[in-house]
Structure 1
Amino acid sequence: MSFLPTVDLSIGDLRMPFNEEVKYCILGISVTLFLIAMGILVWQFYRYCSQAPKEPVDDLLSSDGKPAKTGDLHTETQRPNFKVEKLHEDARRLSRCLSMGSHVELPSLGNQLDEEVKGSLRFSLYYDQLQSRLVVTVLEARGLPVRDFSRSVDPFVRVRLLWARHDNEEEKEEQSSPSLQCLLHEWQSRIVKDSSSPTFGDQFSYSMEEEDVPHTTVRFEVRDFDKFSRHGFLGEVRVSLCDMKITYPLEVLEDLQTPQKDMVGEVLLSLKYLHTLQRLEVGLLKIRALPQQSKKDQVRLYARISVLCNQFKLRHQKSTAKTLCEVTVFNEVMMFTLPDPQIRACCIVVSVYEIHADRKSAKRLVGQVTFGKGKRSEDEHWRLMMRSICQPIAKWHPLLI
């Protein structure tokens, strides 16, 4: 019986099954990778040491959003911090959306102004008696305020013609709707980029009988164009044509005033919420509007009722179109399935649109009303609905534009 000899191997006796060339290649690759890693480490350490220490945003910016003029930050004053301005702009928009909360209301135009109304508007008015048309020309604006963060403004002007009754006809309507007006037409001027004193030169005309001119008010809304959000309001100018002689071109320069909404109609709505079925019933009963007597084409109205929650539109329904008269009767009920958490945080937006039966034109917004869980007088209708048990509550609401 033979025994195998035992061999004691130490670490120094280990041998790699490679020839000399492969060993040197592996060694060279290892050394190369080590040198590359050391080079990257040294480069990162050099960048870290050479980079200037970051100052807080409050030190870089003054109270008006500009870089602070200090001796240590001389280079920062010569070069604007675009990253900081972009972060401030995004934060401002986000805070404006979040501040709406669970209740979205249709604010007045004056509430959307971020600062005091400044600037003026120059325009001209002329009524051509031969062609029976009103000519409105938007010439220029002066001294418009710029946005706080972007330090620029992109203005444009929206022109609206409002028609209302006077004298004996107005006295008949005084008890129901004393300030009821009719939106005849609206235009929009071109947008002038980055200019606080823009020159427009846009001219608009509208066919109108001479007896309707004293009943007309021209409303100029100066707005700031925003591609990603709601356009800002810079101010407005109102001109009543009954107090002006415009049989020849009349040029006017007026200071901008705080914008206000106009009442262009009323809508009778009924609300009922069934707690057991979690169903909201919105009844569109009547719409009271002021048709212009000189209009020859047939105008039809319809309403779009939307349910909004946290500024997001959940559901909407549209009514049938009815021929416009002083009191247009609909008597339609629209149902929305809303769980209890949503009904306590949502609001209702009723938008009334106008379409012409004789012309294939796009719809035009007549007015809107928004109500929900809030503290305004319009929201009292919502509170009565929530307290009632399976009983519809009806109430008149003003249509504003």
Structure 2
Amino acid sequence: MLSTDMVSSLVLGVVCGLSVVAVGIVVVVLYILYRKRHRASACLNIKSGYEAVGDCKPSLMSISSSSQEVSISKESRTVQPRSSSMSTTSHGSMRSDLITDDTSSISARSEASVDSLVFEANFGAIRPDLYPRKDIVLQQASLDTGHGRLHTRLKYDFRTSDVVVHLIEAQDLPPSELLGGFNDPYIRISMVPAVDERIRQSSVKRRTSNPYYNEYFKFPVAFDDVKDKLLTFHLYDYDKFSRHNLIGQVEIDLGKIEISNSVEMWCDIQKHQQPVGVLGELLISLSYLPTAERLTVVVMKAKDLKVSTTTTSADPYVRVSLLIEGKKVKRKKTSVRRGSVTPVWNEALAFNVPAELFPKVEIEVSVMDHDLIGHGEIIGRCLIGPNRAGIEKSHWNDMIQNQRKSIALWHHLRR
């Protein structure tokens, strides 16, 4: 049996042990409470804008140890600006929606965090695709209406120093019964004064009075010289027998419009007027065969011949003279067509021309009114050759560049 002293010692030891355990538990509880309070203070410093002490990970839900009240706080969210209304939105309307504990100072400081919002990198950049440049549209009206309209676009290309002509379309061309079979229109474009010897001509649109072309042409000219140029469009009716009737024309004075930007134009087509001093027109075809050294002049027909006598008709024939260095070396003529101011010949006159003399050659084509007494009276003439100007020079150069082919063109007759 245990003695009384042993029991007392045992009881005392158990009490001491329990006391030590109780003290340890109290110490642990106090330490835990201290840590919780210290972490809560650190989180409060973070929300107030101060540097955090210790590791604090903010939570959406926190429970206080004293009152067991639950408070839920929303995380700060970055507000992205709307692209369409950013320029008119104030900073005050772009605040983070922060809800904190019932502390007004913390809420005020959280509003200051708007400065840390992240914006898109391209915000405020100019986007040219949102501001498309529209062509300037001009109307060029004429008192001489009823011949349709021409739709074109003009622009100067500074990279290549060219005037670019976009021939778009023609509309409302007169019916065929009014203009003698207007079915196959094409357009010839030129610049006055001429910038080169090229002939710019559109394709032929078959049997239509509203031809759509969508073709581009360029004229090399310095920008400072553009204001002195006149752009002309001549509208023709094509015929497979080379009967190209000039129906109408459009003239655009480039000195009156600004083509540094694209200019779209609608122009009334004017009826073609004979130039002053013109005594009619003659259709001639030229071809040169270098192997045979033969120059062939085909006199096809004439129209609107002006006779000086009181009669309304004439007896025309054509005389073709070959000139070498200005001297007439050979002459040939067609047959006579009685009583007509619109004669048709379709006669070929051939001349032997050596290749070495060809650059020095010109031809003089004269329309004569036959007279039984004498040599007849001259109605009009034209000179065609490399030293001429305008259409006479262009026709000759066209023949040289297209040897073995017949090149037909209308020529104005003058004294």
Q: TM-score range by the shorter chain?
A: 0.3 to 0.5
Report the TM-score when normalising by structure 1.
0.40
Report which structure shows greater RCO (CA 8 Å, sep ≥6): 1
